[in-house]
Amino acid sequence: MRGSRLGAVALVTVCALVSAAGSAVAAPPSAVPDGTALQAALDRVTATGAIGAVAEVRRGDAVWRGSSGKSRLHGRQPAPIDGRFRAGSVTKTFTATVVLQLVGEGRLRLSDTAEWWLPGLVPALGGDRITVRDLLQHASGLPEYTDGLLDGDAPYDRFRTWTTGELVRRAVKDGNRDRPLLFPPGTDHHYSNTDYIVLGMIVEKITGRSYRTEIDQRIIRPLGLRNTRLPGSSPFITGPHAHGYEPVRKADGTLVPVDYTTVNMSVAGAAGEVISTTADLDRFFRTLLSGGLLHPAELREMTADTSGGGWGLGLEIATLPCGTIVGHGGGTPGYRTISFHTLDGARQITVDWTDWGTEADAGPAALALMTAALCPS
């Protein structure tokens, strides 16, 4: 359920690493990815803390897919190259795409308030001024509903089914008292899963159908994303997949790995429940960025960082020496994902890894892999 502020924070690190190297330049989009170098970079992800990792790199029509490590902590089976995984906050880009499609259809405006569509939902002072744009860009000031629900990324009650109303109430109420906004809407930015739970509710109010149905009918089915789904309250990952683990502290203080592959992700909803593959996510972003899902006006809105803080509308944005990249990242129990792309979708990478360790951190190696894929020397 973490976003990538793996994207927003760690991309600063990526920029620094690439700038320090001083040699990253854009390669022709059709250049064949160097599979040997990419595999070596992916192997460093598993060498620095991940149990298993999978990646897809695309440059134009040329594609490289790889896997490294194991599918289980104490197993021997390799991580499946086509494995499904929980992509966490990458879900936000799916939700934002549906919202912007509704804008393009004239059924919704970015300046509409949440109060207009969902009267009384946010009772705090200033809550009636939160706009759809604020929600998409994490500028609403809404507190994070996940506070107190998670131990790291792991839900304390892993099999409970949550309703959207229950989740939002956690953000806007403290017992019977209204929780104040973190700041007046539109004046600052604070990454909040609550924003996207509210957006999912707005989609349902406008269409009369769940956000899951809208994402399925508008994106997953038309694009043929056969290995992508929003599982709702189902706790299972179907098809080939690696197992994800979370550290749990025993009574004696030691940390032990607990398999969290099976978990009810209704706790993440429109903010982070999607299950997908590297190939499906690259296809989704390639179609989105090439204009296959949104009208030009809405796509420009989505990919513009008008805040200067690295946020588009449902996208994270960063500038590398080889150009601007956009995408999203996510963290869920046991799984970490980054999916970033050039603005035209010509160069792409999606990588997911399952990590375990109290000190090891595979994140920097995954970011180095991303840099190598998008800004080849």
Q: Which residues are tagged catalytic? A: 89
Is residue 26 classed exposed, middle or buried when 0-12, 13-18 and 19+ CB atoms within 10 A define those classes?
A: middle
Residues in the chain: 377
Q: Please, what is the Cα angle at 114 between 109 and 115, to 5 degrees?
A: 120
Quote the CA–CA distance of 290 and 299 in Å, as a whole number. 9
CB 104 within 8 A of CB 294: yes
**How many CB atoms are located within 10 Å of the residue 346 CB?**
19
Quote the CA–CA distance of 358 and 88 in Å, as a whole number. 21
Q: Which three-class secondary structure string do you get for the chain? A: CEECHHHHCHHHHHHHHHHHHCCCCCCCCCCCCCHHHHHHHHHHHHHCCEEEEEEEEEECCEEEEEEEEECCCCCCCECCCCCEEECHHHHHHHHHHHHHHHHHCCCCCCCCEHHHHCCCCCCCCCHHHCEHHHHHCCCCCCCCCCCCCEECCEECCCCCCCCHHHHHHHHHEECCEECCCCCCCCCCCCCCHHHHHHHHHHHHHHHCCCHHHHHHHHHHCCCCCCCCECCCCCCCCCCCECCCEEEEECCCCCEEEEECCCCCHHHCHHHCCCEECHHHHHHHHHHHHCCCCCCHHHHHHHHCCCCCCCECCCCEEEEECCEEEEEEEEEECCEEEEEEEECCCCEEEEEEEEECCCCCCCHHHHHHHHHHHHCCC
